[in-house]
Chain A
């Protein structure tokens, strides 16, 4: 488990989502990366029922990552998060009375997985109810677990194929305490994905004005 950075790549002008993704694939292959299958990250939203009115309902996000196929992550936005066994989904069904599934809000990100030496690059299409909303790129530097040490290297690597749309240090890493050994783990990755999904959900559907 290394340091992961998730960022959004804007869709190129005049091209569809699929075409932009293909361009990225080509760039990666030119760089020398090797395709190693596919990946999938999805997120389901649950409303917490039975809380006092006036307070906003707490949303529980249950996320899955194909990189950790036997795990299930449960997150509150900005709140506590946990990594659980795959049976957590079944548990959520049992907790139907307390957490209701918002079925229309399921977000998925699917794409292919590339490996370039110590880097793992995943280029995926974010879809919400079968409509593509955006492109996500996840870059993981496997050998290191401390984000501060390898951020510069990761940024440089991302520049080589992303071009100008390289993000700044993600907020999850900035929030880590200085000076203490704070390794990053799957929770950080999922938090980043969650932020991305929420951002994309709030965005307008691209091409919806085309009728």
Chain B
């Protein structure tokens, strides 16, 4: 710029030193200015290492915090300066650097650990998919296609294996069924056939039937067709004469007037319902075994009926055995065997006849047969000492003790099946008839009352009943009539309370008469008591007859004189000698 002379401007820094002190003579002592390093130190102090690179995030928050820290730091500095004046000015810098180093080391460690990926892993923050939609669709379709192909391949393999398994399983089913069959029945392999044994021979039976059944494989079925519900891969073929079901009918009837219809008993009982879950072969085999046992029982009974001599011979006709336990009575044992086919022919079922079949006796027959089997087996009890012969234990003594024939026969069982069952039937019949007699008397006679207490525990050949005859209001007196009846096979034994024993035969009339006599004894006592209670008991028995006569004559004459149109009846109860007057 022109116009005037140039003005020299000089700029000087105001490097005025601070005055430290002013001496008394006016000289000023200046504070020495900071050297370069001192200046650097001063500036370095001002660096705030706590402020991070993310100061922009902290934003507004960070600044007041910074201000606080910077405020704190100078305070701390001052504090430290105050307490430790010898602290050199780089101390804070060093501390800050050290903390930075620590943090860097930590970061380095973390990174190295993360790099190993064993203990720590970095998880990227999910980011929004920014791929375009079309691309997504195509990729999805492709992945779905591969998945579908895999699945289809797998399904094909599965269906093939299922078909194979079905075939295998049917084979295995047959084997498992066979195993189950073998666990319950005896089987053996003959050539290429499997045969079994359903007879009781191994259990001690001596019946000559072979009892062989054959096991048949049933596995060639069409897979496509639906399997029937009761399909079983195993089937058994039983001998033809053991088909169907059988039972032994035991019944007691009055003597049949005509013998024309003997041997025609074919009453058939409905077969018992099979348990759910049992195999068909099991049911078949069990039924066949039952038929075999019934046949054996019937064969044994008919053999005994023919061989054993008895007073009244037994009649054996076709499938029925008839014997007479008591005169006028008939015991019929028949084998009712029905094969399954006949059921279809019967259009209408027969009118159900009163079932007089005695189940108890049938059961007893089965039991006795099984006992006989067991005896066959176990009669060979091991002898002591080992050199002694086999047989019944007592029989071993027969030799050394020189038993004669009578003693030997008493040791052996000589009663056959038929005799036993006839005895049981006799007892059952006698017992039921005795019960009927007592009950009919009790219902007929109102006063005194007859009570019968049957005992629960009875034997096959013996039962007992206690009969009490009492009268209402006079129970104390009537305690004397208590009868214990022991019903045996053919006789009834009566034991009085005072110990007297009377044996009655099987006749019904005898028992009735006997009970009536007991009833009249009670009546005798009852009639005596109200009239003669003033007399003491000692004179009662001695004077009863006299008194009876006295009363009789007195009444007789009085009535006769008074009214001649009266009827006098006598009733003489036996054993009592009592006259009762009835005046009309």
Q: Which A residues touch B408, using CB under 8 A?
A: 69-70
Q: Which A residues touch B396, using CB under 8 A?
A: 85
Taking chain B's interface residues, is the majority helix, strand, or loop, or is none over half, making it mixed? loop
CB distance from B383 to the nearest CB of A (A): 11
Which residue of the partner chain, among A67, A83, A185, contacts B399 with CB atoms under 8 Å? Answer: A83
Residue interface mask B380-423, A partner, CB < 8 A = 1: 00000000110000011011111111001000000000000000
How many Å lie between the Cα of A155 and that of B44 in the bound state? 164
Residue interface mask A72-89, B partner, CB < 8 A = 1: 110000000001111100
Residue of A nearest to B389 (CB): A87
Q: Which A residues touch B398, using CB under 8 A?
A: 70-71
Q: Which B residues touch A87, using CB under 8 A?
A: 389, 399
Once A and B bind, how many residue pairs between them come within 8 Å at the CB atom?
39
How many Å lie between the Cα of A84 and that of B396 in the bound state? 10
How many Å lie between the Cα of A185 and that of B400 in the bound state? 12
Q: Which A residues touch B405, using CB under 8 A?
A: 67, 69
How many Å lie between the Cα of A203 and that of B432 in the bound state? 72
Most chain-A Cβ atoms within 10 A of its Cβ — which of B388, B402, B408?
B402
Q: Which B residues touch A85, using CB under 8 A?
A: 388-389, 396, 399-400
Tell whether A183 is near chain B: CB-to-CB under 8 Å: no
How many Å lie between the Cα of A111 and that of B401 in the bound state? 24
Tell whether A68 is near chain B: CB-to-CB under 8 Å: yes
How many Å lie between the Cα of A85 and that of B402 in the bound state? 8
Residue interface mask A49-75, B partner, CB < 8 A = 1: 000000000000000000111111100
CB distance from B495 to the nearest CB of A (A): 32
CB distance from B407 to the nearest CB of A (A): 9
How many Å lie between the Cα of A86 and that of B398 in the bound state? 10
- Are B404 and A84 neighbours in the complex by a CB distance under 8 Å? no
How many Å lie between the Cα of A85 and that of B394 in the bound state? 12
CB distance from B41 to the nearest CB of A (A): 135
How many Å lie between the Cα of A69 and that of B388 in the bound state? 17
How many Å lie between the Cα of A68 and that of B401 in the bound state? 9
Most chain-A Cβ atoms within 10 A of its Cβ — which of B389, B398, B399, B408?
B399
CB distance from B173 to the nearest CB of A (A): 57
Q: Which B residues touch A70, using CB under 8 A?
A: 395, 398-399, 403, 408
How many Å lie between the Cα of A202 and that of B449 in the bound state? 86
Which residue of the partner chain, among A71, A72, A73, A84, contacts B403 with CB atoms under 8 Å? Answer: A71
Q: Which B residues touch A72, using CB under 8 A?
A: 399
- Are B389 and A186 neighbours in the complex by a CB distance under 8 Å? no
How many Å lie between the Cα of A87 and that of B395 in the bound state? 13
Q: Which B residues touch A67, using CB under 8 A?
A: 404-405
How many Å lie between the Cα of A71 and that of B403 in the bound state? 8
Which residue of the partner chain, among B388, B400, B404, contacts A83 with CB atoms under 8 Å? Answer: B400
How many Å lie between the Cα of A83 and that of B403 in the bound state? 11
Q: Which A residues touch B388, using CB under 8 A?
A: 85
Q: Which 10 A-B pairs have the closest CB atoms?
A: A85-B399, A186-B402, A70-B398, A68-B402, A70-B399, A71-B399, A71-B402, A83-B402, A67-B404, A86-B399
Give A residues with C-beta under 8 Å from B: 1, 67-73, 83-87, 185-186
